Amino acid sequence: MDINAKMQKAFSDQITAELYSSNLYLEMAFWFRKEGWKGFANWMFKQSDEEKQHAMDMANFVLNRGGAVKIGTIEAVPNDYKEPREVFEKTMEHEKHVSELIHALAELAEDEHDRASVNFADKYIDEQVQEETSVRDILNLFRHRDGHTVATIDDIVGQREA
């Protein structure tokens, strides 16, 4: 069963959102680099790559099912942060927003009786839980260790490998 036009549009919108996410985290990585936070920058570069992979994975899914992908306008991303904690708070906000988008995508797939898209979207529902958990863990480190030990958090966060 080829993917229908409505689902192609919904996936294209989600792909655009994933590419926005990738740019958002890339810019955050640049900000961290500028401020000398190498660990946080490392984490954000990996995060940016991961979002790009999400876009690619979704595009492959649509193309494998005989559909087309149309990347939409990608808005400029913010680059004016004050301190590391704020960047992760913004990351959390953004991931919660993306979770809502993924839920809407899954619901549309159900309405369209597109089982393949439902299965595919379910994988990203799990992924979003993981994303929110990893950012929550970092925000908890900020909470527990507080202000003057941000450098320790930079070390821990910088250990991310993939």
Q: Which residues bind Fe ion (CB under 5 A)?
A: 18, 51, 54, 131
Rounded Cα–Cα distance for residues 79 and 58 (Å): 27
DSSP state of 162: -
Rounded Cα–Cα distance for residues 23 and 51 (Å): 9
Q: Is residue 53 a known part of a binding site?
A: no
Residue, CB closest to Fe ion: 54
Smallest separation (angstroms) from Fe ion to the CB of 95: 5
Q: Is residue 113 a known part of a binding site?
A: no
* Tokens 């930079």, located at residue: 154
Q: Is residue 47 a known part of a binding site?
A: no
Smallest separation (angstroms) from Fe ion to the CB of 67: 19
Please name the helix (run of DSSP H) or strand (run of DSSP E) that holds residue 43, with its range, or none: helix 38-64
**Binding site feature residues:** 18, 51, 54, 95, 128
Query: Residue positions in the annotated binding site for Fe cation?
Result: 18, 51, 54, 95, 128
